[in-house]
Structure 1
Amino acid sequence: MGKILRDFLGLIKDKASISKAALLSSNPNALSIRLAVLRATTHTPAAPPEDAALTAVLLLGETSRSTASPIITALMDRLRRTGNCVVALKCLLVVHHIIRRGPFILQDQLSIFPAGGGHNHLKLSDFRDGATAATVLGYFLCSSSSCAAAVKENQERRISSFLNVDLVKDLDSLVVLVEEICRGPQLIDGDSLVNEIVGLLSGDYLSSVNEILVRLSEFNERLSYLSFGDSVELVCALKRLQDCRERLTVLYVVNKPSVEMMWGLVEELKGKIGMLKVYKSGPKLLSWGKASESTRYGERVLGTFDPVKCQSGRF
């Protein structure tokens, strides 16, 4: 009975929102944008947006920048004002699809919102809702905003040009993403909206694996050129990634060679780094204690006389 009443109230709210938009908007273009966003983010049913409604939003974003900007504004306004988890999740689903397969103009407007500059804050920290689906918001948001880029044709060449310190930071950002995906919910019987999000997170996990593999392969090429600090940070990132393995195996049943290849390369790199540093400087180099001031001074002095080397071991 409670679900029927909730769905009925949601249906009334949706009808009221559409009627209000039609009455208050004097601009046909603004009205079409507002209606497209409302139809893609309805209170009911508690299911993913219909393909037709989602496609309508994406197609509107292909026309021009002047159209794409109001779409993002309307979507963010809808997300920030709602107190309903179904509407919020649908808004995030639309954001995710814009990032993954939306037109460039729409993606560009999403990246620079708000128009005054700054980061695209979705401001979900104050969101409160007693429904189970609300627990997905934070996890889904991190995945949506981070795992966006498709694999570029010249990605390996681009990554090979990174400085070691930048490559470590790049890998660390992907590990952070995997850690957030690792916090995601499990499938819930009968909840198609949450299950849709879990499916998207699974896809983002696979995308992350492919991105991480490229970077691990690059590290494998340039191990002998890593500084002590870069080696320590790399080992820490690899350890954090390994800590996610058990949870990821439970959440996402993914039988892909790339996944096993990634875990194997993580183990291989950790072993190689340990052996290489012990060979070069003795067994105390990778200890986790504080180095003495004289040791740090020696490292700084010796570091100034290191010959210039290419960052990638390929060149």
Structure 2
Amino acid sequence: MGQLTKMRDLIGIIKDKASQSKAAFLSKPSTSLQLSLLRATTHDPSAPPSRKHISALLSFGNSSRAIASAAIEALMDRLQSTQNSAVALKCLLVVHHIIKYGSFILQDQLSIYPSNGGRNYLNLSNFRDNSNPITWELSSWVRWYAQYIEHLLCTSRVLGFFLGSSSRSITEDKEAREQKVSSLLNNDLLRETDSLVGLVEENCRNPDSVHASGNKLVDEIINLASEDCVSTITEVSIRVNEFNERIGSLTFGEAVDLVCNLKRLEDCKRVVLVVQTKKKPSMDGFWDLIREVKERIGMEKLYREEGKLRKERTSESARFARRVLNPGALVRFPSGRLLGL
């Protein structure tokens, strides 16, 4: 098995060299793009793309929209055509870097590509690379990572910005985000919270690693996802704080939906705490806030039910009084019965 793995790795290296040599030899306008893509998505299953090669790909978003579109199309074609787990993971890793560090024009092309291409380009739920135990396990990471990226893109569409994008964190501070959230309707606020909590749940579903343990490529994926988790919890915190101000105005259905989302989030607490410990974010009171909001919703529900009950009792007493005091409502006995008393 070890010799077969080494042979397969050697074949991958040869294929990488051959493809890069061919791209460098061709004198086409797209040569630079193809060469940068091949260098960033090699067949090496243990090493992530270098910063230099990822930066070279991201640089294609600093020029025209047409070039950015070509870069996204080439990346997605590479992802869809490969049967190699390492290449697939590196393609997904590049997509993740575009979401976090890419220029606006590159992110924009990434977000609209499905409608232009007419296919769900991250649909890798059936991906399998059964060459050896390592590639088989890496295949599970491909399936999970593709689903996670899809959820990240979906959540970003719901929010109206790319979650975790470094450009946004620079141009918009937390106070500005809080002001935007405060202007949302309850339904929109619930929809965003639900999507954010779903992303946290997806983040917690990454595969258990056996052969992939210590793999630098997998470690890089976990690191990026952990950074996303911190950004997601920050956004959830802003929305839960806003709900804390609105509890009295929530309908019964909205309150139930919010409590369900908070309970789902608490189910992820163990994994989130590990991420928070590694990244050391300043969110000490987050879980206390979750508990406080749940308790306030419970008290508000009890208060409303008691108020409703008091109102019903008052109404019933009034109706009873009207029945007794209304002369037309008195029981009239037959005259013979009265005479017999």
Q: Give the TM-score of the pair, scaled to structure 2.
A: 0.76
Question: For the Cα contact (< 8 Å) 1:41–1:49, is it kept in 2?
Answer: yes
- Residues of 2 paired with 1:278 and 1:141: CA distance? 44
Question: Match of 1:304?
Answer: none
Question: Match of 1:229?
Answer: 253
Question: Match of 1:35?
Answer: 35
Question: For the Cα contact (< 8 Å) 2:123–2:146, is it kept in 1?
Answer: no
Question: Match of 1:301?
Answer: none
Q: Kindly provide the amino acid, as one letter, of the partner of residue 141 in structure 1.
A: A
Q: Kindly provide the amino acid, as one letter, of the partner of residue 274 in structure 1.
A: G
- Partner residue of 1:166 out of 157, 171, 188: 188
Inter-CA distance 119–278: structure 2 relative to 1 (3 Å threshold): farther
Cα-to-partner distance string for 1:218-262 (whole Å, 9 max, x where unaligned)? 111111110111000001101111111124445774464644422
Question: For the Cα contact (< 8 Å) 1:61–1:103, is it kept in 2?
Answer: yes
Q: Kindly provide the amino acid, as one letter, of the partner of residue 10 in structure 2.
A: F
Question: Match of 1:21?
Answer: 23
Deviation larger for 155-164 or 185-194: 185-194
For residues 210-289 of structure 1, the aligned pairs below 5 Å read 210-249=234-273, 253-254=277-278, 256=280, 258-282=282-306
Q: Kindly provide the amino acid, as one letter, of the partner of residue 223 in structure 1.
A: I
- Residues of 2 paired with 1:44 and 1:4: CA distance? 11
Q: Kindly provide the amino acid, as one letter, of the partner of residue 80 in structure 1.
A: Q
Deviation larger for 212-221 or 127-136: 127-136
Higher helix proportion: 2
- Asked if 1:105 is matched to 2:105, the reply is yes
- Residues of 2 paired with 1:86 and 1:261: CA distance? 40
- Residues of 2 paired with 1:51 and 1:192: CA distance? 14
Question: Match of 1:79?
Answer: 79
Aligned residues: 283
Q: Give the C-alpha shift of residue 138 in structure 1.
A: 3.5
Bigger Rg, structure 1 or 2: 2
For residues 94-243 of structure 1, the aligned pairs below 5 Å read 94-114=94-114, 116=116, 121-130=121-130, 131=135, 132-145=137-150, 146=152, 148-149=162-163, 150-151=168-169, 152-153=172-173, 154-185=176-207, 188-243=212-267
> Structure 1: 5+ residue runs without aligned partners?
286-315
> Structure 2: 5+ residue runs without aligned partners?
157-161, 310-341
Inter-CA distance 17–252: structure 2 relative to 1 (3 Å threshold): farther
Inter-CA distance 213–85: structure 2 relative to 1 (3 Å threshold): same
Question: Match of 1:294?
Answer: none
SS in 2 for 1:128: coil
- Residues of 2 paired with 1:45 and 1:3: CA distance? 11
Kindly report the root-mean-square deviation, in angstroms, between the aligned alpha carbons of the 2 structures. 2.4
- Residues of 2 paired with 1:77 and 1:62: CA distance? 21
Question: Match of 1:53?
Answer: 53
Q: Give the TM-score of the pair, scaled to structure 1.
A: 0.82
Inter-CA distance 53–176: structure 2 relative to 1 (3 Å threshold): same
